[in-house]
Amino acid sequence: MSNCRICDNKIKKIIDFGKIALVGNFLKKKRKQKKYKISLNYCVSCKHVQISEKLNPHLLFKNYLWETGISERNIHILKNFLQKLKKLGINKKSKILEIASNDGSFIKILKEKFDCFVIGVDPAKNLAKKANKKNIFTINNFFDYKLSCSIKGKYNKFDYIFARNVIAHIKEPNNIFRGIDNLLKDDGTFILEVPHLLNIFNKNQYDNIFHEHIGFHSLKSIQDLCKANNLKVFDVDKINSQGGSIRCFISKSTSTQLVSKKISVISKIEKKSNLFLNSNLNMFKNKILNHIESLHELILSLKRRKKKISVYGASGKGQALLQFSKMDNNMIDFVFDKSKLKQGLFTPGTNIEIKNPKYISRKNVDYLLILSWNIKEEIIKQEKKFLKEGGKFIIPFPQPKIIN
């Protein structure tokens, strides 16, 4: 067992999932794949929920197949965000850095809207290349304190630093926060988005647990990281992204920035939900095991009735859920996904062929299990013809449910 990634104290196991293949490791051919241990734990001191396995990040993020630009819903969320950023003071003099900038979609929008200076950092070679092609200068590397020093040497400090959906992926979060403290101007703002632990627990979203998701954050864990690195959270928004996230606005701890009342509101909700109570953390195991059993049973019973079952969404969490609930190409015919990068490949650990959603029809599908459930409305709307012709959807959370 290792120690807490935030405070270095002892951690305690919530659940051991055994071994699964890396959820981003889609294959060109059907074959057996290397699997890695995964378990969920919490820190006995600061209560930070985390996986204990330490994999080489190069295994996980060097060739990343998740593109920001792909979901309509993501684009919509971004547009609302721009309004808030304008109020926060972004203008053409602003210097902006984005950590894990993916294909550059987000900072490209900022550059076009505010005519400001933007730089991205992303470890995935394929995505950094794509961003650079769009004239969004992207450093192809992992962000850490060391890289922050070389960025500072070239570009000095920044007014705004973004880290959207990356904090959960980080092996040594203190190292990243130290790098941000190093690069942020005294009156600068660091904005991060992270899936909220509250939703993962209350809505039983255990499909978020895989090797790429190392830490499961609350406002408290972000505040703990800030405190240790001369930073403070001054505002927080709940956002409807990744099944429910928090967006934290962070300044230097010495800043005179007013602290929003929303901080104490969300802190109270976290405490009231017993997010940091050992007995509640320990109970999560049974909730997960019960859900796995009911989903597996539902699919098995349909299979016994000779129903044709496919999956919609080749997301990382979909790959985790398929593996946790022991469903592979013997139970599931196809996985449909819009991402051209994934079409034609096979799912990791479960060997199911990924196809373009245009092939969804009543001829080959009776039930479509939606594993990208965070965009389920979008998917159902898109596949209304399938529904009209008698096709059915299965939504896995909070409890497996058939929609017809």
Stretch that binds Zn ion, among 37-45, 151-159, 326-334, 344-352 (CB under 5 A): 37-45
CB 190: neighbour CB atoms within 10 A? 24
Residue 192 binds Zn ion (CB under 5 A): no
# residues contacting Zn ion (CB under 5 A): 8
* Dist CA 360 CA 303 (whole Å): 18
**Of the residues 48, 111, 178, 213, which one makes contact with Zn ion according to CB under 5 A:** 48
User: Which amino acid appears at position 210 of this protein?
Assistant: F
CB 61: neighbour CB atoms within 10 A? 19
- Nearer residue to Zn ion within complex by CB, 11 or 124: 11
- Nearer residue to Zn ion within complex by CB, 148 or 175: 175
Residue 4 binds Zn ion (CB under 5 A): yes
Provide the minimum distance between the beta carbon of 5 and Zn ion in the complex, in angstroms, as a whole number. 7
- Nearer residue to Zn ion within complex by CB, 43 or 136: 43
- Nearer residue to Zn ion within complex by CB, 4 or 77: 4
* Dist CA 348 CA 23 (whole Å): 6
Stretch that binds Zn ion, among 7-15, 18-26, 139-147, 368-376 (CB under 5 A): 7-15
Q: How far apart are the first and last CA of the chain?
A: 46
Q: Are strands 184-195 and 158-164 parallel, antiparallel or unpaired?
A: parallel
Residue 253 main-chain phi, psi, to 5 deg: -65, -25
Residue 46 binds Zn ion (CB under 5 A): yes
Q: How far is CA 226 from CA 33, 388, 395, in A?
A: 39, 51, 37
Residue 387 binds Zn ion (CB under 5 A): no
What strands lie across the sheet with 231-239, from one edge to the other? Answer: 138-139, 117-121, 95-99, 158-164, 184-195, 245-252, 231-239
Provide the minimum distance between the beta carbon of 209 and Zn ion in the complex, in angstroms, as a whole number. 18
**Of the residues 38, 43, 250, 354, which one makes contact with Zn ion according to CB under 5 A:** 43
Write each residue from 327 to 366 as x if it is in contact with Zn ion (CB under 5 A), else as -, in one continuous string: ----------------------------------------
**Of the residues 7, 59, 228, 292, which one makes contact with Zn ion according to CB under 5 A:** 7
* Dist CA 8 CA 232 (whole Å): 20
Interaction site with Zn ion (CB under 5 A)? 4, 6-7, 9, 43, 45-46, 48
